[in-house]
Structure 1
Amino acid sequence: MQIPGHPRVEIVVPVKNEENDLGPNIRRLREFLDTAFPFPAEVCIADNGSTDATYEIGMLLASELPGVRIVRLEQSGRGRALKQVWSASTAEVLAYMDVDLSTNLNALLPLVAPLLAGHSDVAIGTRLAKGSRVVRRPKREFISRSYNLLLRATLSAHFSDAQCGFKAIRADVARELLPLVQDTSWFFDTELLVLAEKAGLRIHEVPVDWVDDLDSRVAIAKTVGEDLRGIVRLTRDLGRGRIDLEPIRQVYGRPRILDPRTAMAARVLRFGAIGVLSTAAYALLYLVLRQGMPAQVANLLALLITAVGNTTLNRRITFGVRGVEGRWRHQLRGLVTFGIGWSLTAASLWLLHTAVAAPHQAVEITVLTVANLAATVVRFSLFQAWVFDDDAPTIPAFEPPTVLENTRSN
């Protein structure tokens, strides 16, 4: 039974050529909302480019069922449909779900309740968290997990499931974020979540029960290609400072850490994590290069390649420097620190070969790894005091927030 006066929820169901599933599943959704959902809710069928009887069936449903309406878009694209309907909605919380209702509807209240209470800004259903119960084909399971790992590696995403068709967002937050989202298709979800996370918004995750739709219309190869292009574009735009999230961060984002000691500790941890990654990459490169060249040459090339990557990652992640301004200056300064690191490892390698005529490669790797870790301490000191000193903020822009209250002015 619906309780009058509570915040209103609008659930968008994007569809394209779904004449078989649309009728029974919209009736099932509407019945659930009328009998088991405590807030007044509307359902909007967003038909994007159907060429079968989907739109006509949607019109009949809208005329038959109170609280159901339909919007017709001539162009296809799930993201396009969601962006148009959400932008025009008067509801306080905006949600969407796939027409196949693969996600158990009992997860709807846990999804929207934190948004209605003002505790969270965005909410997602996740099939990859502890507590989820999922039935789907191994191929799709592998693709989903691989995709989310890729997002972690390329965009530093922390949410667990980007593509589950079960999400919600507060309308005031959506009005700020939607104009920044460029994708109109399947990457829309990912782009929205990444921007929300980068703006410091609170993303609530709900483990869901989910059953794979065997009649899914998703073209996997095409979707994967579009997603990869979207990741490249979004990574480039964020790296070059083309997306201004600061206004959203100022109003909705959680405050950054103000304690310099805590900020420094977090900066050291991030630098250390990048250092471990760089050291592993260096060791692998050295082993590969050593097969066809002398030890000193292999050492120099491996260090040079990883130094460029190390400076790039630390510039963005550890010291929070964004955009292209100063990038080459930072790389040149980073190469100076590389020179110091190279001198330490080269000296260690020279001493080893002086003491042992033909050391085993495992011994070489051990000595070089220890020397490289020692050089890491020197690099951090130089990064902190010189390499990024002219641009880096006092508190890193990527400082993980610890304060739960936000700074909303509304």
Structure 2
Amino acid sequence: MPTDSAKGPSGTLPRRAHLPAHGARHDVPTAPVLDIVIPVHNEEKDLPPSVRRLHDHLTRTFPYRFRVTIADNASTDRTPQVGAGLAARLPDVRYVRLEEKGRGRALRAVWSASDAPVLAYMDVDLSTDLNALLPLVAPLISGHSDLAIGSRLTRSSRVVRGGKREFVSRAYNLILRGSLHARFSDAQCGFKALRADVAGELLPLVEDTGWFFDTEMLVLAERAGLRIHEVPVDWVDDPDSSVHIVKTAAEDLKGVWRVGRALAVGALPLDRLARPFGDDPRDRRVPGVPGGLARQLIGFCAVGALSTLFYLLLYTGFRTFTGAQAANALALLVSAVANTAANRRLTFGVRGPARAVRHQAQGLVVFAVGLALTSGSLAALDAAADDAAHGTELAVLVVANLAATVLRFLLLRAWVFPDRRAPVAPRARPQSPDGLESLAAPKTPRSPR
């Protein structure tokens, strides 16, 4: 699998931004906003009507400059002549020839060399209704999302296809959810798009060159924390599809195993994409709103579980030569010191000797609160039963510690280790010359070509 050596030139992705509106006019010689790739292999029959239909739809409805790229991966029929002829006759259509077969290889080659800020692809049969194209790429143009996929498996999708393909598709997505914990609904729909800045960092990590390319890209993007937008589509099965279901399924399962193993051993450098943009609201400091609660809760629970086990072992040891109250106090004192030191470093990220003595003193106050709760529970047990069993004592102490744990976390977070970092003001949104926020590019009317 690729490692950090595949790291892109920037190291992290740039801040999301709405694409400029100057690309909307077709009489201005600028780079296209959208580059749609149609990967083909021996498609001399279906290629001409599909490209003409797509080109006509984009010319009539798409408000930005576009390009349609025919990516021919090692066709052996007349596809090269047909593709070159379409590129010569239709404006904004180009033909690219690759001498090696593989849909993923074709997409990687064209996307990596494209000058368009939004990249997309669709299957040559155009099974997906083209009215979903603008909803697919709009979140990428606006800066809201990083990738977008068409889904045939959402409730609002309208799909016409045979039972065999329906079963295979749903079974495959269940496998992805169970093995790779994927949350997107449809990995195999040939209708996807992503931003070029995202592609520059993500594609070097994708190893597959065939049909598993889509799935691997989506899984890595999701694990890296990128935002994936799903669009319900209308989809009609192509009965003449050349895809070999059994062979493709076998290759996909091999890819699932490979990616799952790489994720399990940490072989993929996804950490550099975990916070890809500078406008993530979770990275902002807002006065009065403490940050990092989820991470602190996880750390506190882990430390607390180990501390509770340590405490129970200490209590059992001390109880062999002293009474219940003394054993409880000694066990709490020793475990409290260790608990404060562990939470200081692991939960709240405080390092170095500064204020360490003060933190331990405050931790002892928190310990006193826990002592009062647990001692009170033991006193209540003694009042209820003169000679309670050791197991009963432990059960009462566990319940009392659970109650004390909640109060302990609140005191540690708000009093012992408060977040004293200065708040960072949110980024200002770009404004247009008239002072209004630039939220969407206007659609520029144009005459048909």
Alignment TM-score, normalising by the size of structure 1: 0.63
Aligned counterpart for 2:150 among listed residues 110, 118, 125: 125
Contact 2:225 2:275 in 1 (8 A): no
> Secondary structure, in 3 states, of the residue corresponding to 1:50?
coil
Q: How does 1:61-210 map to 2 (within 5 A)?
A: 61-210=86-235
Unaligned runs of 5+ in 1: 270-373, 382-404
Alpha-carbon distance between aligned partners in 2 of 1:260 and 1:228, rounded to the nearest angstrom:
37
- What's the CA shift for 1:250? 3.1
Mapped to 1, the partners of 2:120 and 2:277 lie a distance apart of 19
Distance in 1, Cα, partners of 2:96 & 2:249: 28
Please give the alpha-carbon distance, in whole angstroms, between the structure 1 residues aligned to 2:281 and 2:101. Answer: 39
Cα distance 1:268–1:24, how it changes in 2: closer, same or farther (>3 A)? farther
For 1:29 and 1:75, how far apart are their aligned partners in 2?
Answer: 26
Q: Distance in 2 between matches of 1:157 and 1:192?
A: 12
Q: 2:272 aligns with which of 217, 226, 247?
A: 247
Contact 1:79 1:188 in 2 (8 A): yes
The within-5 A match list for 1:2-401 is: 3-4=25-26, 8-252=33-277, 254=280, 259=291, 261-263=293-295
Per-residue CA shift, 1:260-306, capped at 9, x if unaligned?
A: 5545778999xxxxxxxxxxxxxxxxxxxxxxxxxxxxxxxxxxxxx
Instruction: Classify the secondary structure of the residue corresponding to 2:156.
Output: coil
Query: Is the 8 Å Cα contact of residues 97 and 166 (structure 1) preserved in structure 2?
Result: yes
Task: Name the CA distance, whole Å, in 1 between partners of 2:257 and 2:41.
Answer: 27
Report the secondary structure of 1:250's partner residue: coil
Larger displacement relative to structure 2 (222-231 or 251-260): 251-260
Distance change in 2, residues 1:67/1:155 (3 Å) = same
Structure 1 stretch displaced more, 242-251 or 215-224: 242-251
What's the secondary structure of 1:232's corresponding residue? helix
Q: Give runs of ≥4 in structure 1 deviating > 3 Å.
A: 1-7, 252-269
SS of equivalent to 1:47: strand
Match of 2:307 in 1: none
In the TM superposition, residue 251 of structure 1 has moved relative to its aligned partner by 2.4
Letter in 2 for 1:109: L
Q: Note the alpha carbon deviations across 1:155-210, whole angstroms, 9 max, x for none.
A: 11000000100000000000000000000000000000001101100000000000
Q: 1:268 to 1:34 in 2, by over 3 A?
A: farther
- Structure 2 counterpart SS, 1:168: strand
1:293 equivalent in structure 2: none
The letter for the 2-side match of 1:21 is D
Are the structure 2 counterparts of residues 146 and 255 from structure 1 closer, same or farther at C-alpha, using a change threshold of 3 Å?
Answer: farther
Instruction: In structure 1, give the amino acid aligned to 2:237.
Output: D
User: Relative contact order, CA 8 A, sep 6+: which one is greater?
Assistant: 2
- Residue of structure 2 equivalent to 1:341: none
SS in 1 for 2:275: helix
Task: Judge conservation of contact 1:2–1:34 (CA < 8 Å) in 2.
Answer: no
Select between 251-260 and 11-20 the one with higher mean Cα deviation: 251-260
Q: Residue 150 of structure 2 contacts residue 230 of structure 2 at CA under 8 Å; is this kept in 1?
A: yes
User: Normalising by structure 2, what TM-score?
Assistant: 0.58
Given the superposition, is the C-alpha separation of residues 265 and 210 from structure 1 closer, same or farther in structure 2, using an over 3 Å criterion?
farther
Percent of counterpart pairs with the same letter? Answer: 61
* Kept after mapping to 1: 8 A contact 2:36/2:121: yes
Following the alignment from structure 2 to structure 1, what is the Cα–Cα distance between the partners of residues 258 and 282? Answer: 27
C-alpha change, 1:242 and 1:71, in structure 2 (3 Å) is same
The corresponding residue for 2:16 is none
- 3-state secondary structure, aligned to 2:250: helix
Contact 2:157-2:234 at 8 Å conserved across structures: yes
Offset of residue 38 of structure 1? 1.2
Distance 1:170 1:266 in 2: 33
For 2:164 and 2:93, how far apart are their aligned partners in 1?
A: 35
Provide, for residues 294-345 of structure 1, a one-character-per-residue CA deviation record: whole Å limited to 9, x for no partner.
xxxxxxxxxxxxxxxxxxxxxxxxxxxxxxxxxxxxxxxxxxxxxxxxxxxx
- Give the secondary structure class of the aligned counterpart of 2:155: coil
Question: What is the number of residues matched between the two proteins?
Answer: 279
1:200/1:252 contact within 8 Å kept: no
Q: Alpha carbons of 1:9 and 1:266: their partners in 2 closer, same or farther (altered >3 Å)?
A: farther
Secondary structure (helix, strand or coil) at the match of 1:190 reads helix
Matched residue SS, 2:185: coil
Match in the other structure for 1:311: none
Describe the SS at the equivalent of 2:39.
strand
Q: Please state whether the residue corresponding to 1:14 is helix, strand or coil.
A: strand
SS at match of 2:143: coil
CA drift of 1:107 comes to 0.3
Aligned Cα RMSD in Å? 3.0
Deviations 1:14-55 (A, max 9, x none): 000001000011011111111111111100000001110011
Cα distance in 1 for partners of 2:300, 2:90 equals: 58
